[in-house]
A and B are shown apart, each in its own frame.
Chain A
């Protein structure tokens, strides 16, 4: 189990006073203090850890966020920023002596400008809502994390969220134009705007992925893109992981950048097939789903080129979608992968390391050996083109030993990613989950540099404490 800080008794003792002070600043209707309602905020998508917060504040305006932060800063009260609470790394996990400041009630789309290809939204707007608002005109917001129905843009900015289409369209950081951010002192900063690039330091780049350590984002301007004319997928099954890995390398080297290039291993194929009946080959060791975009003729040409490359690697099965419906059928299993694994195992940990794609076979062998060592099943689903791995470690939450082994296995898998030249997290963030592994990737001098930046923004270290940086207490 990960160590959590002791709550400060002097803060706990002032609970009623703090709740009253917050209500005065943001309105009583925007403060939650009843134990039953607080319980809804005790965890996020990393459900193995739970802490009921001191209070939850759900401001409706940037000014209210600023007032709440200024008060907490002045009083030395810890603050845990929260959007939809879908973090898989415990990024929004509360602390007993912390005030959660959530942006869920700031959920309006403020401006859509198709000519300038941007949308300005409040931070509590969901990821999918941006695409929904512009898809009628053929546009979309590119980053598409699996949680996109629920997750909010503030959380996407905090975690620099990705998705299945990053290889072509990039992650959140590459699709942002500006944010309104409230500093811990309650100052409102406009970083970026409707234009490209920073004149001074790249605040937008630093804020994105900073996991609520530097401030609270209340408004976001994103770039929206015109969707391609169409997209279609193909599915290819291979008898061995190494062969699938070699096919991936050949595809990238061929000059084609597929819009998605997904990999599933045998346990994942079986789980998805049982769940979704997508017609996946049950005898394959590795399955690739490859999607391309363009006009019908361009899709045909690209799929033919990809098929020729895959043929050179002797696939067991190959299915090329001829229509959007056939394409959807290919995606059906992959899109339900997490749910499918959830059906065969009572609980699972979804890991998120990245490796250089060329090391895929070694990573697969290493993960297999580690899983055996810890006596646990692992199903693998990866964004193969960019080397972002999502091993799903199955365990039983009612069995403490099983959970302890799952956590230890997850940590070893992430250390393996670092050893192979990769990193601890590709898109889920460090949060609390990977906090203690940071020293596997960074030297003390590197972490110290990051901590000095944190201190420049948050001198008292009250923002999202005990996350990201290994057991630092201010």
Chain B
């Protein structure tokens, strides 16, 4: 296990002030720290060369929830599930439906320290199927409190839905994986949860036809909030967890989430629109929820123990070609986000890593290594390298938050 991913070295200060003091001490000593929540996404990033780790997991609890104002705030270590339960009790939900990747990318050879936290979901900016229609995790972040690399508690944004006051550090910190500042509290926009969910499914399409069907659905006025394509193997894997999916080759899936009264009309219209692509079948509420949860968490990849996992974000129409290129390199996968999100799994080798990197580059998109052995994550980039001018900005902005480079050094880019 890489030193920065070892559980025994992780300190979890009890509150924000203690966390700030710990980071200030590390800053004074020039001591690098790995930055964690519950380490459910330990392999999402390069291994950090740090003897000590600091976790925000002890900062827990919902600090504000105002359903009529569509806003919830929680300390960074609060489990995502706790927010989801509090929201569900008031008929609301987290718009970006962050995936639970703990089964895929927990610490090598060990267990995570607990369930996924909201701080981790924001710090990794991981979003589920609804991303294509309603935005990413970062789009819902209204305000943050965080400790920068000098041990200072900084804030940005607030608790209101519209705010353009000053530079938007909420988005910059989202997805920065703890390398600029350690999130201590986040304030999120939430939305009413739909009364009902339905899924329109077409079977047996090839990837090109499937993405054309997804584009037609997303370009329709019927409010599609999920658009995925599961090739044969992925559809078969999903059938193992979703009752009623059954056999029948690839599955092209479109989700509608609405008031229950509106579902029949929208399902019919969508099925009619897609009739040129094939005969549609419709899944009801319960099966739909199970299906999209499995798509969200990449269950259809059916990842074997030693395999690597990658995510690519490309122009939606480029998804089928990326999938084909990866298949030629021995990787299997499926598409979400109307074709724009490619999930891939296969041998955790340098050859696979390079295949992912070139497939992303060929389609003008990006990739993230989600899981691979530490040695591979250290040897090859886990995200596309930046051109020199941008890489220089990355280093300068990193220094603007963390002058001594102590927060998760090397987590995203080697040497930063």
Contacts and interface: CB of A to CB of B under 8 A. Distances in A.
B366 interface: yes
B168 A197 contact: no
A349 to B, nearest CB: 18
Contacts of B53: none
A196 B136 contact: yes
B219 A114 contact: yes
Interface string B137-170: 0110000000010001111101111111111111
B375 interface: no
Interface string A188-202: 010101111111111
Contact of B164 (A170, A191, A203, A209): A209
A315 interface: no
Contact of A202 (B138, B163, B363, B387): B138
A115 B155 contact: no
Given A210-B167, A354-B160, A197 B366 contact: yes
A298 B262 contact: yes
B191 interface: yes
Interface stretch (A24-32, A319-327, A355-363): A355-363
Contacts of A115: 212, 215, 219, 316-317
A139 B138 CA distance: 25
Interface stretch (A11-19, A77-85, A340-348, A382-390): A382-390
B271 to A, nearest CB: 15
B413 A200 contact: yes
Interface in A420-474: 421-430, 434, 438, 441-443, 445-447, 449-450, 452-457, 468
Interface string B102-137: 000000000000000000000001010001100110
Of the listed residues A160, A197, A427, A454, the one surrounded by the most CB atoms of chain B closer than 10 A to its CB is: A197
Contact of A183 (B167, B389, B413): B389
A311 interface: no
Nearest to A434: B165
Interface string B193-231: 101000000000000000010010011110100000000
Contact of A455 (B156, B221, B400): B400
A255 to B, nearest CB: 4
B162 A354 contact: yes
B171 A173 contact: yes
A39 B299 CA distance: 63
B89 interface: no
Interface residues of B, number: 85
Contacts of A441: 158, 165-166
Contacts of A337: none
Contacts, number: 250
A198 B176 CA distance: 10
A457 B393 contact: yes
A205 B172 contact: yes
A200 B164 CA distance: 23
Contacts of B168: 160, 173, 205-206, 208-210
A interface residue count range (under 10 / 10 to 19 / 20 to 34 / 35 or more): 35 or more
Contacts of B135: 170, 174
Interface stretch (A45-53, A223-231, A364-372): A223-231
B215 A116 contact: yes
A427 to B, nearest CB: 6
Interface string B392-413: 0110110111000000000011
Given A160-B168, A301-B261, A200 B160 contact: no
A126 B220 CA distance: 25
B30 interface: no
B71 interface: yes
A253 interface: yes
B163 A425 contact: yes
18 contacts: A171-B164, A173-B139, A194-B365, A199-B313, A201-B394, A205-B168, A209-B164, A210-B167, A252-B69, A255-B259, A356-B66, A425-B165, A429-B164, A441-B158, A443-B155, A449-B400, A454-B167, A456-B400
Closest 4 CB pairs of A and B: A205-B171, A426-B162, A199-B383, A456-B396
